[in-house]
Chain A
Amino acid sequence: MSNTAELSTAAIRRQMLAEFWFYFRQNRGAVAGLFVFILLVLTAVFASVLAPHDPTAQYRDALLLPPVWQEGGRAEFLLGTDAVGRDMLSRLIFGAQYSLFIGIVVVSIALFGGIFIGLIAGFFRGWVDALIMRVMDVILAFPSLLLALVLVAVLGPGLTNAMIAIAIVYQPHFARLTRAAVMGEMRREYVTAARVAGAGNIRLMFKTILPNCLAPLIVQATLSFSAAVLDSAALGFLGMGAQPPAPEWGTMLAEAREFILRAWWVVTFPGLAILVSVLAINMMGDGLRDALDPKLKRS
Chain B
Amino acid sequence: MVRFLLAKLLYLIPTFLGITIIAFGFVRILPGDPVLLMAGERGVSPERHAELSAQLGFDKPVVMQYLDFLWRLLHGDFGNSLVTKKPVLTEFLALFPATLELGLCAILIATLVGVPVGVLAAIKRGSWFDQVSMTTALVGFSMPIFWWGLLLIIFFSGFLGWTPVSGRISLMYFFPQVTGFMLIDSLLSGQQGAFISAVSHLILPSVVLATIPLAVIARQTRSAMLEVMGEDYVRTARAKGMPSRRVIGVHALRNAMIPVVTTIGLQIGVLMAGAILTETIFSWPGIGKWMIDSISRRDYPVVQSGLLLIAGMVMIVNLLVDLTYGLINPRIRAS
**Interface residues, chain A, with chain B CB atoms under 8 Å away:** 29, 134-135, 137-138, 141-147, 149-150, 153-154, 156, 226, 230, 233-234, 237-240, 250, 253, 257, 260-261, 264, 267-268, 270-271, 274-275, 278-279, 282-283, 286, 297, 299
Could you pull out 5 A-B pairs where Cβ atoms are within 8 angstroms?
A143-B314, A238-B292, A261-B153, A278-B142, A299-B227
Q: Mark out the residues of chain B between 147 and 163 whose CB falls within 8 Å of any chain A CB in the assembled complex.
A: 147-148, 150-151, 153-154, 157-158
In the complex the two chains form, what is the Cα distance from A270 to B144 in whole Å?
10
In the complex the two chains form, what is the Cα distance from A289 to B178 in whole Å?
50
Chain A residue nearest in CB terms to B138: A282
Known: A261-B154, A274-B144. 14 other contacts (CB 8 A): A29-B138, A137-B14, A141-B311, A141-B315, A142-B310, A143-B314, A146-B291, A153-B303, A230-B144, A260-B153, A261-B158, A282-B138, A299-B222, A299-B227
Q: For A230, what are the chain B residues with a Cβ–Cβ distance below 8 Å? A: 142, 144
Which of B144, B303, B311 has most A Cβ within 10 Å?
Answer: B144
**In contact, B154 and A267 (Cβ under 8 angstroms):** yes
Chain A residue nearest in CB terms to B158: A261
**In contact, B29 and A142 (Cβ under 8 angstroms):** no
In the complex the two chains form, what is the Cα distance from A297 to B272 in whole Å?
31
Task: Decide yes or no: A278 and B314 within 8 Å by CB, A134-B18, A149-B276, A150-B303 being known contacts.
Answer: no
Which of A29, A150, A286 has most B Cβ within 10 Å?
Answer: A150
B10 vs chain A, min Cβ distance (A): 12
In the complex the two chains form, what is the Cα distance from A154 to B304 in whole Å?
11
**In contact, B142 and A279 (Cβ under 8 angstroms):** yes
B295 vs chain A, min Cβ distance (A): 5
Chain A residue nearest in CB terms to B287: A146
Q: For A143, what are the chain B residues with a Cβ–Cβ distance below 8 Å? A: 269-270, 272-273, 276, 310-311, 314
B54 vs chain A, min Cβ distance (A): 25
Q: Mark out the residues of chain B between 230 and 285 whose CB falls within 8 Å of any chain A CB in the assembled complex.
A: 269-270, 272-273, 276-277, 280
Closest 7 CB pairs of A and B: A271-B147, A138-B18, A299-B223, A145-B273, A143-B272, A278-B142, A279-B142
**In contact, A146 and B154 (Cβ under 8 angstroms):** no
In the complex the two chains form, what is the Cα distance from A135 to B22 in whole Å?
10
Inter-chain CB contacts under 8 Å: number: 131
**Cβ-neighbour of A283 out of B15, B138, B272, B310 (below 8 A):** B138
**In contact, B143 and A275 (Cβ under 8 angstroms):** yes
B63 touches A (CB below 8 Å): no
**In contact, A234 and B18 (Cβ under 8 angstroms):** no
Q: For A240, what are the chain B residues with a Cβ–Cβ distance below 8 Å? A: 295
**In contact, B292 and A149 (Cβ under 8 angstroms):** yes
Q: For A264, what are the chain B residues with a Cβ–Cβ distance below 8 Å? A: 154
**In contact, A271 and B151 (Cβ under 8 angstroms):** yes
Chain A residue nearest in CB terms to B312: A141
Chain B residue nearest in CB terms to A267: B150
**In contact, A253 and B146 (Cβ under 8 angstroms):** yes
Task: Decide yes or no: A138 and B19 within 8 Å by CB, A264-B154, A267-B147, A268-B151 being known contacts.
Answer: yes
In the complex the two chains form, what is the Cα distance from A261 to B166 in whole Å?
14
In the complex the two chains form, what is the Cα distance from A267 to B78 in whole Å?
39
Chain A residue nearest in CB terms to B296: A239
B26 touches A (CB below 8 Å): yes
In the complex the two chains form, what is the Cα distance from A234 to B147 in whole Å?
9
**In contact, A274 and B147 (Cβ under 8 angstroms):** yes
Q: For B14, what are the chain A residues with a Cβ–Cβ distance below 8 Å? A: 134, 137
B139 touches A (CB below 8 Å): yes
Q: For A278, what are the chain B residues with a Cβ–Cβ distance below 8 Å? A: 142-144
**In contact, B141 and A146 (Cβ under 8 angstroms):** no
In the complex the two chains form, what is the Cα distance from A145 to B277 in whole Å?
9
In the complex the two chains form, what is the Cα distance from A137 to B322 in whole Å?
14
Q: For A233, what are the chain B residues with a Cβ–Cβ distance below 8 Å? A: 144, 146
In the complex the two chains form, what is the Cα distance from A292 to B157 in whole Å?
45
**In contact, B277 and A146 (Cβ under 8 angstroms):** no
**In contact, A138 and B15 (Cβ under 8 angstroms):** yes
A258 vs chain B, min Cβ distance (A): 11
Q: For A154, what are the chain B residues with a Cβ–Cβ distance below 8 Å? A: 26, 29-31
B100 touches A (CB below 8 Å): no
**In contact, A299 and B226 (Cβ under 8 angstroms):** yes
Q: For B22, what are the chain A residues with a Cβ–Cβ distance below 8 Å? A: 138, 142
**In contact, B272 and A146 (Cβ under 8 angstroms):** yes
Chain B residue nearest in CB terms to A144: B273
**In contact, A29 and B154 (Cβ under 8 angstroms):** no
B146 vs chain A, min Cβ distance (A): 5
Q: For A257, what are the chain B residues with a Cβ–Cβ distance below 8 Å? A: 150
